[in-house]
Structure 1
Amino acid sequence: MSGTLQRVRQAWRSSVAALLIAIAASPALAHKPSDSYLSLQVGADGLSGRWDIALRDLDHAIGLDADGNGEITWGELRQRHQAIAAHALARLAIAADGQACAISAGEQLVDDHSDGAYTVVPLQIDCPVAAPRQLSIDYRLFAELDPQHRGLLRLDVGDVSRSAIFSPQAASQQFELADQGRIAQFLTFVGDGVWHIWIGFDHILFLLSLLLPAVLLWQGGRWQPVDRLRPAAIDVVKIVTAFTAAHSITLSLATLGVVVLPSRWVEAVIAASVVLAALNNVWPLVQRRRWLVAFIFGLIHGFGFASVLADLGLPQASLLLALVGFNVGVELGQLAIVVLFLPLAYWLRGTGFYRRGVLVGGSLLIALLAAAWFAERAFRLELLPF
């Protein structure tokens, strides 16, 4: 082995060690992506609800920390209650059977979620229709500030719960209030899982980083194209299966409350996993068993998936159905990515464009982006506009 290659590998190992030490030393400072939790109940007396919004997001949007000391006190929060309600309600619209409902805010409280303190805004909702058959919801909170923000909806109609995810790309949605069967509920959670993986850019980039070398083989100190599709397809199947098995385990454990990890630590490690997987394509230390990397880090990604279901607070009657449906949706979302990726990558595998531009250049860009995410989550920096 040449001295240059030895120095490169030693630098790579040192970088990995430094990054892992930084992860271990700073779990309390990381944060997960911006979410709010909208709960609506449809009962015999009409429509009511509550809206949990992260204080850190509100501070960024309208300012809550009056003295600028980095801490939001109850007094500072109480002084901004009217501003919070006005800001939030201006970005939420509900219609029953096509007729707009009037929404007002009650007295606000504070609650803790897995990623910090949230203000709780009770919602009084007055609809012209006493027993609506359909609800239309338009959700625009923080859309102008954070394109990755999500609104997680829990809609209770009688004893039946369903969920939905709002984002700037899916801001308006309609819900039929007729009694849903179990199959319809299951399909709703499947759709939530598909959508979650498609907007989970860190999960997608981690998976792509592991898949990019699948159509190549490391020989003679460089990446060479594989001769046949079969070994590439087998490698992809191993990677996706390992990732699926791993995150299914931790998704189930976390959603059922068996194992709970701080979401701040989880999100920081997820960003770090993307960095490591991408850099391994440039300086490959793990060449043949990327499925093992997928499994190890997939365990952490599963805790990230679980934060969606856990913070929704679904009732026990819907929890198992939600867990299975959401997990199936995640797998279908991943499968769609693989189906698009593999034929195109195999077709381009012998070109310099793929080996140097896509594999090396793309991996370096992914690593740079994920490193910025890690810095934001681990040290509360604002480096990216998204």
Structure 2
Amino acid sequence: MIRCLLWLALLLSGAAQAHQASEAYLVYRVDGTAVEQRLDIALRDLDRDLALDADGDGKLSWGEVRQRWPDVEALAAAGLRLTADGAACTLQDRPQPQLDQHSDGTHAVLISHWHCAAAVHELDIDYRLFASTDTAHRGLARLVGAAGEPLVLTPGAGPQRLSLESRGFGGFVVEGMAHIASGLDHVLFLVTLLLVAVWRREGKGWAPRASGRAALGETLKLVTAFTLAHSITLALAASGAIDPPAAVVESLIALTVLLAAIDNLRPFVPGPRWSMVGLFGLVHGVGFAGPLKDLGLRGSELVLPLLGFNLGVELGQLAVVALLLPLALALRSATVYRRWIVPGGSSAVAMLALVWLAERSLGLALIS
């Protein structure tokens, strides 16, 4: 069973690198009949569809991207249709090649200007980017100066409206849930905690809790500590109040998963476990903030997206708890749980987290 768990973790890791969800960013500025559209597309997504890495060295140079810029433009044009108040607008210029850094890597930036027949009140975006190659891809769009909140665009879902009256709260709830689902390190951190939430410390090991009520109480403490902690740093990072290097944050997240798994195998963290979870949650919150931070929202325009995204994260966490906790409660006194499931699962998570830590801190590509 341990060997199966190890292989499962390694297979999952290749397809679910944390915080590498496929996202493009759309920013619109409207001035009467004129519309400026800025589209930022991750180079890793473009490389997957267009094979930009001409020399096959695993790195994209500016020359490689610039040489294929017409193909990048064509892909963007095919994947995005814009109308204003139901009428098509006329493209005034071609985007100049440029790049920009986001929290999830380097993006190609395509800035174009459009002329519409009348003063613009609403924009309809028919978004199809990467619809056939990445079902998890999403676009995040906002209208500068509008009271409406940003939209989460699902490829192939049909035209979506961006206007002064639009509200994107529900979309950000879904985005928060999707972020948890695609963040394997967050999920494994939570799973690792749940494995022994049904136990209590006894000497240098663990013993099953006498009642399900006690286990539920411990789970509530852990989830609450994690939620409060990551909500604080999520808000700070999304607003730009803190901005630590992404590589440092990713490395620290991997370290938190590793330490939690080791603590499952042999308890060593002093004090109540919820205090450790609260401290580690501060790190995870910064990692959650990427999609919101990259939209560049500030002040009051950040409030509803932040609340929606955070609610989605919590719903995703509760779904994991609802799936795993009943099983852990039922098996907490079983020999197979004590000898195989917890040691095997925790060992697999620890090994995977150690590989992540090496990859993120040293810039390696061991299992990606």
Counterpart mapping for 1:354-373 below 5 A: 354-373=337-356
Q: Which of these residues, 305, 308, 323, is aligned with residue 340 of structure 1?
A: 323
Hey, what does 1:155 align to over in structure 2?
142
- Deviation at 1:190? 2.6
Retained in 2: the 8 A contact 1:88–1:141?
no
Aligned with 1:173 (options 147, 157, 173): 157
CA-to-partner distance for each residue in 1:119-174, whole Å, 9 max, x for gaps?
21235689999987854422317946xx8x744412328713434556xxx64335
How many Å apart are 1:224 and its aligned residue? Answer: 2.5
Q: Which amino acid aligns with 2:65?
A: L
Amino acid at match of 1:340: L
Q: What pairs with 1:180-191 in structure 2 (closer than 5 Å)?
A: 180=165, 184-191=167-174
Distance 1:357 1:85, change over 3 A: farther
Is 2:67 the partner of 1:82? Answer: no
Give the structure 2 partner of residue 20 of structure 1: none
* Structure 1 position 261, deviation (Å): 0.5
- Give the aligned partner of residue 120 of structure 1: 109
Amino acid at match of 1:52: D
Does structure 1 residue 306 correspond to structure 2 residue 289? yes
Deviation at 1:94, TM superposition (A): 4.0
Q: CA deviation at 1:381?
A: 3.1
Match of 2:37 in 1: 49
Q: Deviations over 1:50-95 (max 9, x none)?
A: 22234455456645566678875544432221233345555x2548
Q: Distance in 2 between matches of 1:177 and 1:197?
A: 26
Q: Which amino acid aligns with 2:130?
A: R
1:329 offset after TM fit, Å? 2.3
Report the secondary structure of 2:333's partner residue: coil
1:194 equivalent in structure 2? 177
Does structure 2 retain, via aligned residues, the 8 Å contact 1:46–1:131? no
> Structure 1 residue 343: deviation in Å?
2.1
Where 2:28 maps in the other structure, the secondary structure is strand
Deviation at 1:382, TM superposition (A): 3.1
Give the Cα–Cα distance (whole angstroms) in 2 for the partners of residues 273 and 344 of structure 1: 24
1:294-350 per-position Cα deviation (integer Å, ceiling 9, x unaligned): 111111111111121111112534112222222222222222322333222111212
Could you say if the C-alpha distance between residues 209 and 165 of structure 1 is closer, same or farther in structure 2, counting changes exceeding 3 Å?
A: farther
* Residue range with higher mean Cα deviation, 95-104 or 39-48: 95-104
Conserved? CA contact 2:265–2:346, under 8 Å:
yes
Secondary structure (helix, strand or coil) at the match of 2:110 reads strand
Letter in 2 for 1:83: D
Q: Report the AA paired with residue 37 of structure 1.
A: A
Contact 1:150 1:165 in 2 (8 A): no
Q: How does 1:208-219 map to 2 (within 5 A)?
A: 208-219=191-202
Residue aligning to 1:323: 306
How many percent of aligned residue pairs carry the same amino acid? 40
Matches within 5 A, 1:50-65: 50-55=38-43, 58=46, 62=50, 64=52
- 1:340-386, CA deviations, whole angstroms, 9 ceiling, x for partnerless residues? 3322211121222322333111122222233333333233333445x
2:267 is paired with a residue whose SS is coil
Please state whether the residue corresponding to 2:157 is helix, strand or coil: strand
5 Å-filtered alignment, 1:147-296, equals 150-156=137-143, 159-165=146-152, 171-174=155-158, 175-177=160-162, 180=165, 184-219=167-202, 221-286=204-269, 289-296=272-279
C-alpha distance in 2, partners of 1:87/1:383?
31
